[in-house]
Amino acid sequence: MHDIVLIEKYSPSSDLWENLIKYNPSPELSVEDIINDYQGFEGELVEFFRVKHRSSKLNDFISHSLELQKLSKCLLLHIISGESIIHPSLEEKAMFMGFDIGACDNERTIYSSIFNEVLFGGFQELINYKKLLNKSLLFPDKITATNYVQIHNEMSSKGKNVEDCFEMTIYEIWKHIE
């Protein structure tokens, strides 16, 4: 699947901000620094679009999202899973950021395990993966992402209270830079 999402980053006025401060296992970075550096899909979902081959509405969606992006602190991201690749007409307009893990498969389900369990988590086994993240606070390659999913699934099968309400999917993240 190739989806495009417009995500508004959490702000200090967000209801979640206090919890992010409380669960920040990295005192060397402020919550604001983490939010600014993180280029994944965790945040308030503003727009969602499923790219289909030759979609006539694709350019309209991107134009509309770019206008909305000017109004607040948002990211326009291409979220790619499975065997899909970035739409060829968009490759020059996007920059590869890394791999995120979680659920981002429709307008109602959006959850990043990196954001919630590595950057702001409570299990050291998962927090340890922070040292493997790239400058966008995402996994730099699919091998590292796959290893993370294996550890996460093992922890779940052993009854640890990790987030496991949805299957952990590996997503390739591209930031729209037009």
The amino acid that residue 29 corresponds to is: L
Instruction: Give the pLDDT of the chain (178 residues) as one tens digit per residue.
Output: 888 899 999 888 888 888 888 777 777 788 899 999 999 999 988 888 888 766 678 778 888 888 887 777 889 999 999 888 887 778 889 999 999 999 987 767 789 999 999 999 889 999 999 999 999 999 999 999 999 999 999 998 898 888 877 788 999 999 998 7
pTM equals 0.90
How many structural domains comprise the chain? 1
The C-alpha atoms of residue 64 and residue 134 are separated, in whole angstroms, by 30
Query: Which of 53, 54, 99 minimizes the C-alpha distance to 80?
Result: 99
The C-alpha atoms of residue 176 and residue 178 are separated, in whole angstroms, by 6
Instruction: Decide: helix, strand or coil at residue 91.
Output: helix
Pairing of strands 2-8, 94-104: unpaired
Q: Which domain holds residue 48?
A: 2-176
